[in-house]
Amino acid sequence: MASAVASRYARALVDVITASRSPVAPEEAVAQVRAVAEMIAGSTELRMALLTPAISNSRKREVMARLLDQMSVSGLVRNFIYVIIDHRRIGMMSEISEAFELLMDERLGFVRAEVRSASALDVRRTASLESELSRLTGKRMRLRFAVDSGLLGGVLARIGSTVYDGSIRGQLQQLRRELTEHSAG
């Protein structure tokens, strides 16, 4: 769960990006913010330079400007990064990025689902899962996939607090419950 501060920055960017005259498409903005967060998280040197109070904000902005140019980041996202630097929140970039993605999905009408499977799923299977979960929930889905070696097979999908268990272990447990109920009755 994102902090109130991260959520506030993320919500402000979502409001600007989803405004009718925004020059940046929502998916493009999400990709750019994620790329910047990953760049900062992936470089200890950059992160330390951005976090140290000994380096002026104007110098931090100059460094980021060069990096953002190389990444072809839009002016709108670039200005957002500058605001985060000026307000000394750049250390929260990963958290802000995650909150931004979540809020953008909500604003665009997507629901997130975490899907775990015993092995990597092919494109056909992921599309089928997305379609089936959309049918079950009545909403557009945004799926995140992870391989879980603890699963024997099948998939486990979590949407909020609801779990759809299509794993082999889950199917065996369901069969055991049914057999127990029938033998007890």
User: CA 163, CA 114: separation in Å to the nearest integer?
Assistant: 9
Selection from 50, 48, 29, 40 nearest residue 93 by Cα: 40
Structure tokens at 156: 């486990």
Instruction: Report the predicted TM-score, pTM, of the whole model to 2 decimal places.
Output: 0.74
Domain ranges across the chain: 4-106, 110-184
Each residue's pLDDT, cut to its tens digit, for the chain (185 residues) gives 678 999 999 999 999 999 878 889 999 999 999 999 999 999 999 999 999 999 999 999 999 999 999 999 999 999 999 999 999 999 999 999 999 999 999 898 888 889 998 888 899 989 998 998 888 888 888 888 999 888 888 888 888 888 877 777 777 777 788 888 877 66
The secondary structure of residue 121, as a DSSP letter, is P
CATH of domain 4-106: 1.10.520
Here the tokens at position 147 are 């391989």
Residue 50 neighbours by CB distance under 10 Å: 21
Closest CA to 115 of 54, 167, 182: 167
Asked if residues 120 and 132 have their Cβ atoms less than 8 Å apart, the reply is no
- Which two tokens mark 184? 């007890």
Measured CA to CA, the distance from residue 74 to residue 71 in angstroms comes to: 9
Closest to 17 (Cα-Cα) out of 104, 95, 84: 104
Q: With contact defined as beta carbons under 8 Å apart, do 105 and 142 qualify?
A: yes
